[in-house]
């Protein structure tokens, strides 16, 4: 429901991928096999671990993870972009953009703890606008806190 989103009518990068209400503190929705407990993102029907079909429960994924690897991508005619893979405690690895990390070459580190921010963004070519996620260093916020 549109009224449940602080981002107006802008669609998520995958429909229904975030928890409601849709805010900057929303979580990604994955699924967990009710038979064997294996988690997946995005949601799917087949558990490839135990071959159960359509036996998943929806789960909200952690909003914190650790940087597996990162780089700063410079594309012709486009602003530079800090990107990388983030490992969540559920065993999910996400491809992500980083924010609040200037200069990235000094700030970002493999193994660093990062926190998810849900926000309005565009694809690299500035064509498609969507509600997606970025990660920012936890250290940049005082105390870290619990989510």
Partner 1 sequence: MKKRVAVVGVGMTKFSKYYDKDVKELTEEAVWKALQDGNMSPKDIQVAYCGNAVPGVVSKQAGILGQIALMPLGIVGIPVSTISNACSSSACGFREVYFAIGSGHYDVGLAMGVEKMVMRPEDATPANIAMASKFLSLGADGELENVYGITFPGFFAMAAQRHMHLYGTTREQMAEVAVKNHHNSVRNPYAQYPYEITVDDVLNSRMVSYPLTLYDCCPMTDGAAAVILASEDVAKKYTDTPIYIAGTGQGSGVYSEYAENPEMCMTAFQPTIRAAREAFKEAKMEPKDIDVAEVHDCFTISELIHYEDLGFCKKGEGGKLIDEGVTELGGKIPVNTGGGLKARGHPVGATGAAQVAEIVWQLRGEHPNQVDGAEVGLAHTLGGLTHADVAVSVVLILTRK
Name the site residues for partner 1 (rule: CB under 8 A): 13-14, 40, 42, 48, 68-77, 81, 83-85, 87, 91, 93-97, 104-105, 110, 123-125, 127-128, 130, 132
Instruction: State the nearest-atom distance from the C-beta of 72 to partner 1, in Å.
Output: 4
Cα separation, 107 vs 51, in Å, equals 42
Instruction: State the nearest-atom distance from the C-beta of 132 to partner 1, in Å.
Output: 7
Question: Which residues, other chains included, contact 142 with Cβ-Cβ below 8 Å and sequence gap of 6+?
Answer: none
**CA nearest neighbour of 33 among 61, 7, 63, 59:** 59
Beta strands 81-87; 93-98: pairing state: antiparallel
Cβ proximity to partner 1: between 50 and 75 the closer is 75
Cβ proximity to partner 1: between 78 and 144 the closer is 78
**CA nearest neighbour of 84 among 105, 98, 74:** 98
Cβ proximity to partner 1: between 9 and 74 the closer is 74
Instruction: State the nearest-atom distance from the C-beta of 116 to partner 1, in Å.
Output: 13
């Amino acid at each position: 429901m549109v009224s449940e989103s602080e981002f107006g009518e802008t669609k998520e990068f995958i429909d229904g991928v975030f928890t409601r209400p849709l805010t900057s503190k929303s979580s990604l929705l994955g699924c967990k096999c009710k038979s064997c407990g294996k988690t997946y993102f995005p949601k799917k029907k087949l558990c490839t671990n135990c071959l159960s079909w359509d036996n998943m429960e929806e789960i909200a994924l952690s909003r914190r993870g650790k940087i597996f690897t990162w780089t700063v991508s410079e594309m012709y005619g486009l602003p530079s972009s800090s990107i990388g893979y983030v490992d969540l405690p559920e065993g999910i690895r996400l491809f992500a953009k980083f924010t609040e990390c200037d200069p990235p070459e000094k700030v970002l580190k493999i193994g660093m703890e990062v926190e998810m921010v849900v926000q309005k963004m565009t694809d690299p070519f500035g064509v498609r606008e969507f509600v997606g996620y970025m990660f920012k260093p936890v250290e940049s916020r005082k105390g870290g806190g619990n989510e």
